[in-house]
Amino acid sequence: MQTTQRVQTPRSRLPALGRCTPRRLHFARPQHVAAQQRRAVLAHGAATDDTLTADVVIVGAGIVGLFAAADLLKAGLSVALLERQGLCAGATGAGQGYLWMAHRNPGSVGWALAARSVALWQRLVAADPAFRAAVEWQDCGSLLVATSPAEAAALSERQMHLNEVGVRASYMDGRRLADAEPGLALPHGGAALLVQADTQINGRKAAHVLLEQCRAAPGFTDVMGEGGEVQGLELAAGPGGGHVVQTKGGRVRARHALVLAAGVWTGGLLAAATHDPEWKALLQPRRGHLLELPQPAGMPRVVHGMMEMSYTKHYAHASAPTAPVSAPVSAPVSAPMSAPAPGSGSAEVDITFTATTSASGSLLIGSSREFSGWEATPSPAVVSAIMQRAALFLPGLQPAAAQAAAAAAAGAGSSSSSSSSSSGDSGVPGMSVRVGLRPYAVGGLPMVGPVAGAPGLFVAAGHEGSGLCMGPATGQLLSRHVRKHMGATATATAPSSSPSTSAAVAPAAPATAAAAGTKADSLDTASFQDLLPDVRRKAALAKAGTK
């Protein structure tokens, strides 16, 4: 496949999107001008016969794709990042920002990925106070809340396991809780586990900071919006070729690796690329609501991040996309709620109480989980159910919960139910509703690594609600897989000197690329074999009883 001669252009010399008029490239002009115009053409979705080329092409600019790009750039590789929407348009922009270990299970693969990621976050903020401030880092600690004697006993067991792996956890009975969180109300026998090391960030701001850091690196370019929308994938016939992404703005060629990190949309892309429809079933959209509202007058400030004990069920085992056990919407505080939300348009909605205070002082209240297809609009009924659940733990929210319930009832009684279900009107003054489609991976673990039978094709997706907490280590792990692939390819094939494959962004030097795959680092990919895409697929098929 022939491509047009490109120029090595540092990202810092490329203009911001929208500041350059799309034009057909004329290569008699200075080469840096051609590179600027090429990026503008892609950004605006205009037709072109030119091809943008980079060592690695990443589809998806969520937190996982951004960390993968950052680590690959650090290794000296050039990266092109494609995103069909704006930054934080998916799950990254709808999350609560928890970097927590309290609710995870020590010794699991998910624990190892999260623990390494949290350590990397801590290293980033320790090295750069400006980064710490930009991502709104809060050392607020977490409270895992038990509402019954049985749950309190389970907390004691969890405390022991956390302490065994070096995570300090303190058991807090009702008396200590009253001092730590005056606004929290629990029934007799309620308790909590305090993990003071758990932290919180602003996921949206973190994504913007990471993108700007990538943009400051040589060899990086990004295409955001219409021009970055993927319309087709062309996999190379052999390991020496380059995969091609056909976007709405033109062709983008991956010289060494194509990474699919598009959240819940990854399964469909992977199925289309490999012509294997089974991949599509491995990632499913799981809609979540998160509420942000002003601090109610007279309500004590929420000091720690809080989460009810039943939240841990999402990490203890893989929850399948089937209807959970129903419970009344007005379930008591001692009972976890997995209930139909009237008028939600979904069979069942899992509601679990979470609460924290943002850096700006607003309350973040959650959360919901539901398999409702690709519906991504707010549901007043789900908003009401979240508020009702939260008000059982935080009585200061009862007036707001009543307002949300009234708004949901009014919407359910409207003659135009379709418009009310998509209006997102919570009925609570000052409240905003975040809705995201969590990329639920069948089997409960994300897919990270190469796709068997398709050399140079990689996947990093399926983190569901843990993208922020697993993103840094996922990026490292993905980068390690890519560099190992490059090292193996360099050993098996002679370097190509064809002038028809020049890059629009600076490639890694040959010595760097060859060494990248063999250079030792502290991340052992063998420790994360359970995350390989084909391992996850086989596990899912085995569980479903198919071969």
Q: What is the pLDDT of residue 488?
A: 77
Res. 100: pLDDT tops 50? yes
Q: Which helix (H) or strand (E) holds 461?
A: strand 457-461
Q: What is the pLDDT of residue 85?
A: 85
Q: Which residue has the higher pLDDT, 489 or 134?
A: 134
Q: Which helix (H) or strand (E) holds 365?
A: strand 363-369
Res. 485: pLDDT tops 50? yes
Q: Which conformational region is residue 165 in: left (phi greater than 0), alpha (psi within -120 to 50 degrees), or beta? A: alpha
Q: What is the pLDDT of residue 38?
A: 44
Which segment, 252-261, 319-328, 342-351, 418-427, is predicted with the most confidence on average? 252-261
- How far is 243 from 486, CA to CA, in rounded Å? 14
463 and 264 Cβ atoms separated by less than 8 Å: no
The candidate with the shortest Cα–Cα distance to 292, out of 351, 384, 208, 357, is 357
Handedness of CA 537, 542, 543, 546 (dihedral sign): positive
Residues of the chain above pLDDT 90, percent:
61
Q: Which residue has the higher pLDDT, 405 or 91?
A: 405
Q: What's 1-66 look like in SS3?
A: CCCCCCCCCCHHHCCCCCCCCCCCCCCCCCHHHHHHHHHHHHHHCCCCCCEEEEEEEEECCCHHHH
Q: Is 144 helix (H, G, I), strand (E, B) or coil?
A: strand
Q: What is the pLDDT of residue 48?
A: 43
Which residue pairs from 484-487 have beta carbons closer than 8 angstroms and sit at least 24 positions apart in sequence? 484/517, 484/525, 485/256, 485/257, 485/450, 485/455, 485/456, 485/458, 485/517, 486/256, 486/257, 486/513, 486/514, 486/516, 486/517, 487/514, 487/515, 487/516, 487/517, 487/518
Average pLDDT over residues 152-172: 95
Q: Centre a 10 Å sphere on the Cβ of residue 421 and count the other Cβ atoms it contains.
A: 21
Average pLDDT, the chain: 80
Q: What is the pLDDT of residues 213-234, one digit of tens each?
A: 999 999 999 999 989 999 999 9
pLDDT class of 522 with cuts at 50, 70, 90: low
Q: What is the pLDDT of residues 137-147, one digit of tens each?
A: 999 999 999 99
Res. 12: pLDDT tops 80? no
Average pLDDT over residues 505-517: 43
Stated length of the chain: 547
Query: 138: which DSSP letter?
Result: B
The CA-to-CA distance between both ends of the chain, in Å, stands at 37
Q: What are residue 114's phi and psi, to 5 degrees?
A: -70, -40
Query: 370: which DSSP letter?
Result: B
Gyration radius from the chain CA atoms: 24
Q: What is the pLDDT of residue 416?
A: 35
Q: Where are the beta strands (DSSP E) in 60-198?
A: 79-83, 98-99, 142-146, 170-172, 191-195
Q: What is the pLDDT of residues 383-419, one digit of tens each?
A: 999 999 999 999 999 999 999 999 999 876 543 333 3
Q: Centre a 10 Å sphere on the Cβ of residue 546 and count the other Cβ atoms it contains.
A: 8
Q: Centre a 10 Å sphere on the Cβ of residue 501 and count the other Cβ atoms it contains.
A: 19
- How far is 59 from 3, CA to CA, in rounded Å? 21
402 contact partners, CB below 8 Å, separation of at least 6: none
Burial 122-141 (b: 16+ CB within 10 A, else e): bebbeeeeebbebbbbbebb
**DSSP conformation letters of 211-269:** HHHHHTSTTEEEEESGGG-EEEEE--SSTTS-EEEEETTEEEEEEEEEEE--GGGHHHH
- How far is 51 from 249, CA to CA, in rounded Å? 10
Query: 375: which DSSP letter?
Result: -
259 and 58 Cβ atoms separated by less than 8 Å: yes
Residues of the chain above pLDDT 70, percent:
74
Q: What is the pLDDT of residue 427?
A: 87
Return the CATH class of domain 52-319+347-412+424-490. alpha beta
Instruction: Please state, in angstroms and as integers, the Cα–Cα distance from residue 175 to each residue in 39, 82, 172, 211, following that order.
Output: 61, 52, 8, 45
Which segment, 279-293, 320-334, 384-398, 503-517, is predicted with the most confidence on average? 384-398
Res. 468: pLDDT tops 90? yes
Q: What is the pLDDT of residue 239?
A: 66
pLDDT class of 545 with cuts at 50, 70, 90: low
Q: Where are the domains of the chain?
A: 52-319+347-412+424-490
Q: What is the pLDDT of residues 106-115, one digit of tens each?
A: 999 999 999 9
Q: What is the pLDDT of residue 332?
A: 55
Q: What is the pLDDT of residue 60?
A: 95
Q: Residue 330 has which token pair?
A: 């007005």
Q: What is the pLDDT of residues 48-58, one digit of tens each?
A: 446 899 999 99
Q: Residue 167 has which token pair?
A: 């995570």
67 and 471 Cβ atoms separated by less than 8 Å: yes
Res. 21: pLDDT tops 70? no
412 and 383 Cβ atoms separated by less than 8 Å: no
Average pLDDT over residues 24-40: 34
Q: Which residue has the higher pLDDT, 247 or 11?
A: 247
Least-confidence region, from 297-311, 319-333, 359-373, 458-472: 319-333
pLDDT class of 77 with cuts at 50, 70, 90: very high
pLDDT class of 519 with cuts at 50, 70, 90: very low
Average pLDDT over residues 342-369: 83
Q: What is the pLDDT of residue 525?
A: 78
Q: Which conformational region is residue 521 in: left (phi greater than 0), alpha (psi within -120 to 50 degrees), or beta? A: beta
